[in-house]
Structures are given as C-alpha cells and as structure tokens.
Structure 1
Amino acid sequence: MVFLRKEYGHPNARKSAPDFDAFKKKATIIVEEYFATDDVDSATNELKELALPSYNYYFVKKLVSMAMDRHDHEKEMAAVLLSALYADVIDAPQVYRGFSKLVESADDLIVDIPDTVNILALFIARAVVDDILPPAFLKKQIALLPNDSKGVEVLERAEKGYLAAPMHAEIIERRWRVSKKTVEDVKARINNLLIEYVTSGDKKEAYRCIKDLKVPFFHHEIVKRALVMAMERRQAEDRLLDLLKEVAEEGLINSSQITKGFDRMIDTIEDLSLDIPNAQRILKSLISKATSDGWLCASSLRSLSLEPRKKLLEDNFTRTFKLKSQSIVQEYFLTGDISEVFSCLEAENRTSSGELNAIFVKRLITLAMDRKNREKEMASVLLSSLCFPADDVVNGFVMLIASADDTALDNPVVVEDLAMFLARAVVDEVLAPQHLEEVGSQFLGTDSIGGKVLQMAKSLLKARLSGERILRCWGGGGSSRPGWAVEDVKHKIGKLLEEYESGGDIREAYRCIKELGMPFFHHEVVKKAMVMVMEKKNDRLWGLLAHCFGSGLITMNQMTKGFSRVEESLDDLALDVPDARKQFLAYVEKAKTTGWLDSSFHYGNSINGKENGACQ
C-alpha cells in the first residue's frame, strides 16, 4: 500500500516562476530524449540533476500526456519509466499529484486526443497495478470533480473497465506490450521463418508464419530477404524460389509486393556486390527463373544496369545532411524559430540541391507524424514558409509514400497523416492541385499506399469548406503566432499592398512589412506585388519594392524567390492577363538592371532548373 501525506509539496516552499518555467522546458526535453533513446538510466539521472523535487508532479503529468498522443511503444515506455522513478526519484505524493492534474485536465486533453478517456484510464489502472498509485485514488478524485467532467469518466473507466476485470493485472501489464511491433522485430521474424524453412522444407509452417505476421503491406521484405538468402546460400535457391512461387500463386503475397521486393533488391545490388561478387549475375538469373515460372512480370521491374549505378544521395555528405536535418527539425519543434531553420539550411545546403530539399521535406514530415498535432501544424507552417520548388516538395512526398510500408508498422494511420499533409500543402499553395497527380503517378493502382494517399487527399480537398477545415486540421497555432500563421500573414500582406496601391503612404507600408517579423517570407510580398503590378499595370507597387530593396528590408534572395514564384504561376495569371509573360520578361530585365536579380536569372530557370527558386 502506498503511504500518502496530506501535503503534496513542502508547506513552506514557494514556487519560483522562473525555476518552474525552466523545469517545464527541461522536463519536456528529457521526455523527448527518452522516447528517442529508450534509456531509463539517462532519463533518471537527468531528472535528478534538475534537483527540484517539488515540481516532479509536473514531470509525471508531462510524461503521461506526451505518451498518450503516441504509439503503444511509447505508452509502455512511460509506464516503465514511472515505475523506475517511483520512490527513488519521485516520491509518492508527487506521483499522486501528477495523476490528479492529469485527471483534472482530461477535458482539455480530449480536444487533441479523442481517445483520452480510454488511454488515461489505462494509465491510471497501470499505475495502480504497478503499485505507484493507491486504489483509493479513484474514489477520492471522483469526489473532487464535477459529475459532468471527463475526469469522472476516466476514473469510472479505470475502475469498472480495467481494475474490476478478472485477471486484470496480467491484462493491464501486457496491454501495450502485445501490440509492440517494430520494423526490426518483423524483419527478425521474417529472417527466422526463412532460416527454419530452408532447414526443414516445411511449406505449411512457413505459410502459417507468414500469415501470422499480419503485415501484408510489408511482404516485400519477405521477398527481398528470400532472394538475399538464395544468393548467399546457393544450395537453398530452388527451395526458396519454390516457396515464393507458391505464396504468389496462392495470393498470400500479391504481385505488387513481389515486384516491390525485387525492386528493393535492384536498389541494393551495389552493396550486395561487396559481399557477393556475382550478385548482379545471380539476381538476373533469379529474375529470369521467376519470370519463366510465371509469378513475376519482369517488364514492371526497374532497370538492372550492368554498370554500377551512382548513388547520388548516398554519399557521406548526404548522410551527414540527413542527420543534421533531424537535429534542425527537432530544435524547431522545441523553439518554433523558423528563421533559425533558414539559417541552418543555408549553411548545410549551399547549392540549393533539389535532392537535399526533398530529403528535408521527408525528414520534417516523418518526425512530425510521430508527434502531436502541435508539431504537425508546425511542420505545415514551416513547409509553407520554406518556399522550396514544387518539384522538390513533390519528390519529398514521393519518398515519404515509398517508405510508408515501413512507417505503417510504427504508425498505423500513416495513410491518413500523409493525405492530410498533402492536402494541406495544396491549401497552403506549396503545391498546385495538378501536383497531386504527379505524386500519384509514381504509385499505380488504387490499392497501393500511394493510390490510397492520393484518393484520400482528393476527398479532403473536395469536401465542403475544405480549405477552412484543412487549415484547422491540427488546430492551428503551429508557430509562435496563434491560429493560421501563414494564411494570416498572406492576408495581411494582401491588405497592406492593396492599401498602398490605392494611395497609401510608403512609410506606413514599409513599417507594416517590417512589423510582420517574417523576413524569410518576404518572397510573398514580392510575388503579390508583382501580380498586382501586372494585373493593374500600375507601377506604384514597383516603387514600394524598390524602397524595400534599397533599405535592405527585402534581400536579393527573397526577390529571387518571389520572381520565381510569379513565373510558376504565369499559366494561371495568363488567363486573366493575356500579356502576363511579356510583362514578366520585361520586369525581369528591369529587376536585373536595378540589381534586384542576379544576371544568371533567366525565364524558365525557376521552373526547370530550380536553382533560383529554392531557399539557399
């Protein structure tokens, strides 16, 4: 039984606001790092080093609330850490108070986490089973809460739904462990079942093991691993090909997954050649046999060149960029500082490589998908602010969808998440609607992940009031500004330009642009101003741009991005302004003459080459 004091903290201790604010920030970082590393000892030591035991209740609340919006793996990690910290680091009253705060905030938590009642009830039941929370906690807390509060529902669910069930302790202890399934776990099971099959030759057992995996979207890994094993163990080739043929003919592994498995082999053939000298020749032989037996369509495979293919993005620099991208995004999620992201990207991607831009898009959204709505909103805001060329963003989404099968093991709603990010990119004008087809063309078939993502994104965009709903999809507030940050700024820019164009004061317009506090978004000022200049054939706004450029408020980099964005929208603009292209060419030359644009900027560069349209 857990002993409780009436006082949860030290009676004479007064909260120091600065200390508490610092503790909250550090507690968040500790939890984030713990979820990333799964290092209980490190988290324990870091919490001890804070040396503020009277605030430990907040750590309990933060740990559980962050885990609630993540996968079962993190929920189990949170429960394990609480048990490890109990008594030695966090005393009983602080644990009690932390859970009290969680129950009290259930009405707020449910806004972002719809399943709050069930998840929080399970955390409370787990705490009781782990003997870090007394059973009396439930009745005492119910007496303190309004009858219509979500907290009461949580406590009743914990008591009647979990703790009152037969064998409840064992069930609760295993609740999050049962569903724990990582990519590495599945790969290990695949490897084991193939080794056992090669040894025993028992197809029925292998068939059963494949079905028991329950990961049809990951069957390509079985194909790939079987092919690698056939190349490594030449005597097992016939047996392994026979298994693949049977599961293909029976429909256990569909043709799409068969093709994908062979394609992944083709992608990794250079690495395999280091360990298996004749890897390319053997793989060509395996493809030929599978095609002859009728369970593989060779024409649907990628090209298997006899010459080693250059891996443009897998050199040391790119691997380093991937690691740094992760750090940049993680720091951004903590600080919300978009300008710092720009500075870091300028330093790490000096050549504005489209491939690296795509990698950053993939890393940004991948990390956001594994976090709360706040970080998802922040990712969308950052993506809109970055102004990467549309082709780079498209390639980023293609890479995301290509790896979605693996991601689905840890994130079951990956299709829904990617569809929402894709739809949001269209609403934020990061992508045009036709870019959806470009993404979808890389993944044929409505049953493919790409097909499902595309179909769902289109459905979201076709819905009534879709723009407003999609902008609110993660609740807004993704940046330091409340609400729809990017949309708000775009609206303000449009209003200030309209006011100035109709006779406003240049100093007032300049002040408004400066007070936006978003220098990395000045390309939007340039784009909107140039569109208005061409639509109304009024050079008054040109004078405003000249004033902003001359004072250094708008940089050449932002001018270049702005002009590039105008060029990308010329097809649409020409519908209303027939001579839009002619005007644009004239203004480009004028901008070069005045020094706004570099002499290397040419009509067609930002669309085809992308070198001028990307953030540097």
Structure 2
Amino acid sequence: MALSPKTIHEARLKAKAKRRLRKTSSRDSGRGDSFSDNGDPSRGTNGTVPPTSPKSKLLDRKSRAGKGRGLPKKGGAGGKGVWGPPGEVYDLEEVDVKDPNYDEAQENCVYETVVPPLEEGDFEKTLTPIVQEYFEHGDTNEVAELLGELNLGSMSSGVPMLAVSLALEAKASHRELTSRLLADLCGRVLSRRDVESSFDKLLRELPDLVLDTPGAPQLVGQFIARAVKDKILSKSYLDGYKGKVDCVHARAALDRAAVLLKMGMGGLRIDNLWGTGGGQRPVTQLVREMTLLLKEYLLSGDNKEAERCLRELEVPHFHHEFVYEAIVMVLESKGEKTFKMVLQLLKFLWVSSIITVDQMRRGYERVYMDIAEINIDVPRAYFILEQFVDKSFSAGFICEKLRDLCPSRSLVQSNTFPHQLLSVSSLVSRSVCAVLAKFLW
C-alpha cells in the first residue's frame, strides 16, 4: 500500500523531533531537566527529580558535604606534594585506638640506630688508617669518637695491640703519641682489662715482632712501664709473670719494664720516656738541642751522626734555626777549624737533601738581619760573614742572589754612614752598598 506524501512528511517530522530530543537529553543530562517523549520538561520516569550538578559548580572548591566555610584547602597552599604554607607547624597526630592497625605494643617504642658488630677480618683494615692518621694530627678525642662509632665488641682488646705494633716500626714521637692514646682511651673506649689482655698478646707474639723490629722486647718493656705509670696497668701486672715466662724475648721485655719502674722510684721521669717529638717541643728546647748537636759535631767531626741526630729531631720546618746557629757559631769562634767544619757540614746536609733550599735561605737571611747586633759582641763579624758567604757560594749550596744580599763591612767602617741605612743594608746588594760607601766617603 502506497503511503501518501502527507504521511511521509509527518513521519520525517517525528523522526527529526526524536533526534533533537535525544541530542538535547544527552547534553543536559546533568542539569536535572529531562524531556518526555512529547518534548515537555517533566520529572523522571519514576517521578523523582534527578540530582543536579551544573557545570558552573564543577570547579567550585566548596565542600559538597555541607561542611566548612568554602575556603580553599591548605590556605591556598595546596597542590600535589605540598603540605601547606611555609612555616606551618603540624602537631603530632594522636593515635586512634579504634584504628584496626593500632598496636598497643608499639605506642611506647624507642627507635635507635643499630651498628652491626665489626667483623674480625675487617678489624685491622678499619683501625690501621685511624691510627696512622692519629700519628699525623695527634688528637686523641678524634680517635675516641671514631672508635665510639664502631661496634668493636669483644675485639676492643685488639686496639692497644694494633697501636703498639704500628708504633714499634715508627718514630719515637709516634711511640709517645701511642702511649698518650692508650692513656686517654682507657676508661672511655677501653677498659683496664682490655689493656692487660692486649699486652699479654704482645708478650706472646714478641718472637714474631722481633723479626721486623729487633729492638721490640726493649720497646714493649718501655710501653709496659709507661702504662703502669699512667695507671692503665696495675702495679701487680709484672708480679703475675714472675717465674712463669719461658720466652727469652718476653722475659727481656718484662725485665726492661721492671728496671724502668725501679728507676722511676729513684727520680726518672717515665712520663717523658719517649721524649717529645717533632714540633710539639718548645722552641727553646729545640734551639738547645741543635746547639748541643753542633757542639758534639765539632768534637767528633762525624757528618753522618750529625745528620742522624738532625733527622731524629723531626722538625724539617725548623732547620733554618740549625743553619742560623751554625753560622753564628762560626762568627763567634776564633779559629779556622770551626769555619771549615761548619762549612763542610752544611754542604753535606745540602747534598743529602736534609736541609732544603728554603730553609738554607731563611737561615742565611736571619743572620743578615742580626749581623748588626752580633757585630757589637764580635767586632770582626762582618768580615767573617763575608768570607763564609763567599765560601758557601763557591761550595754551591747558596745562590748568587743570596750571596749578594750579604751586608758589606765597608759601610760599617764609615763614621758618617747613617744609622738608617744599617737597618736596610741586608736588603741591598753588596755592589750597591760599595757605591754608597764610596759616595759617602
């Protein structure tokens, strides 16, 4: 049956209206408006009004629960990874006992950092650099802090033994530092029992220590005597070994300690048993020891012995004092023997690199500065100094510039020479001084 044009037109209108209705409903579904099939606004199919959520409220920060004043969260300092405005302090959050994860046993817990115990294989590897660095800086407090950070456990008795073993192969100043370290660590990091156990092990291992350090028995005996004097070993420590020692080296060490303690009762200062090495000694003591060294050299004439004694002073930064004292000794001497021997010694120490270029230069410059005062007591000081400087340059251990800085005696012979020029004569070359002297004459 054929449809009339009118019917077709009405069907097209209805289809177009339905399409418009579906499009409008999908766009405005959140506005609470819905249309029935006839296009009129009405309630939902069940007679209820659907929830409204206008687009204008999508970005609204007001609370949808009906609480709050509608202010932005965190005072406007919100955002991902932000805890609030700068300077805000949060109170401790109270524990909720109704929380399913609440555990009453954890409420009063105290958390501490647990340091694992130091393994035996890492003991020497860890402590050796600490002791060696201590030989450089000499700060016992730093060593105590480093050892306190380690969990030594039962291996704490190995600390004195390791320190003494390293000191046996070091200098006398390092042995003095080791004795001080043991005295300062006892009571803080070590106990007296740890010190006693450590010296017991040292006495048992002396046969092996002698292979590397032949004088180990005497040195260990001195360490024991010093430890008894510092009260980190009991006075009855030596009595416990009487008649019980079979090792020759251990017996020698104990005998050495007993002799030193007996001498200490007679007035020997055991607390200064090793001496004070390096720059820790007072300047007056270093000057006195250098003067004695030079006097002994003038009596013996042994260059190597003088070199050894100068090395044992362990003050390479103070060798300019040795050069100064040597030259002053030449100026104050009356014969040529001292002149030649001191010249020979300085050349020997220069060739063996004991005295550096800087130390040699500083020693000569100090003499140049003090020559005016020395000349008061030694009238021929300028003449002797000029000869000694010329010989030193000929020997090759001072440069031409240092030779030319030597004050000229011709300026001093002039009565009209101003006193002000005497103070700067050490800074003017000899050739310039000679010209000035000739002009003033």
TM-score relative to the length of structure 2:
0.46
Structure showing greater relative contact order (alpha-carbon pairs closer than 8 Å, 6 or more residues apart):
1
Q: Which has the higher helix share?
A: 1
Structure with higher Rg: it is 2
TM-score relative to the length of structure 1:
0.35
